[in-house]
Structure 1
Amino acid sequence: MEPLDPLLHQPLRTQLVAFLAGAGEQTFSDLKRQLGVSDGNLDAHLKKLLAADYVAVRKETGVGRPQSFFVLTPVGLAALQQYVAALQRLLPASLATSQGTEAHDKTLPLVGWVQG
């Protein structure tokens, strides 16, 4: 069985990287609000993603508090794409390749199970 990226296999980090992939550059405050996590929790996960070069940070100072802006790096995007592809390869062929309403009906229980 193909190993999954252990860094992305943590749900909050997967969500964080996927969110940045779609939303682009975000402030720490925006990430905290969108993901519904505490400062400490977000900071800990961002540090791991920064250390792996999955995420980059840009800091702005000026009037008021300094702002940190986070963005997904090309390394992080590639890791996310590989992670998703690895998950897809784990699905039974009938779920991964079926089309039409029959395939949609088959995936609903799996989606409900993952979310629930």
Structure 2
Amino acid sequence: MALDTLDPLLHQPLRTQVAAFLAGAGEATFTELKQRLDVSDGNLDSHLKKLIAAGYVSVRKETGEGRPQSSYALTPLGREALHGYIAALQRLLPLDRAAASAPASQGTPVLRPRTQ
């Protein structure tokens, strides 16, 4: 599989992080995303706009007392794209699954999901 089969929108690390975070959180405010991903307002805003334009993320704006609050969620299309992106990355892993899953003591790295 060639690298060009990876979703170019999600291949940018911050956009992958936003999509993955929203997949787990369900919904998050701009402030929550900014704090959890440790990014600037401008950087996050730029990447959210691209995800929204692609239909991967939806935004819900609440008005009321105080400042308006924006909440973001991964859309079904975004969830599908994220799953496809992860599957494409997995297909890039070595075909020899036995070698890829060998204990680290044998000198072969083991890939495990990061927990928070």
Superposition TM-score tier, normalisation by shorter sequence? 0.7 to 0.9
Give RMSD over aligned pairs. 2.0
Alignment counterpart, residue 87 of structure 2, candidates 49, 64, 85 = 85
Aligned equivalents of 2:56 and 2:16: distance in 1? 11
TM-score by length of 1: 0.85
After the TM superposition, which parts of structure 1 deviate over 2 Å for at least 4 consecutive aligned residues? 104-108
Alpha-carbon distance, 1:24 to partner: 1.0
Alpha-carbon distance, 1:34 to partner: 0.3
Aligned equivalents of 1:64 and 1:42: distance in 2? 22
Gapped runs of 5+ residues in structure 1? 112-116
TM-score by length of 2: 0.85
Structure with bigger helix share is: 1
Deviations 1:65-116 (A, max 9, x none): 000000000000000000000010111112xx339x62x52334x67xxxxx
2:98 — aligned with what?
A: 98
Does the residue aligned with 2:109 lie in a helix, a strand or coil? helix
Q: Taking every aligned residue pair, what percent have the same amino acid on both sides? A: 65
Aligned residues: 107
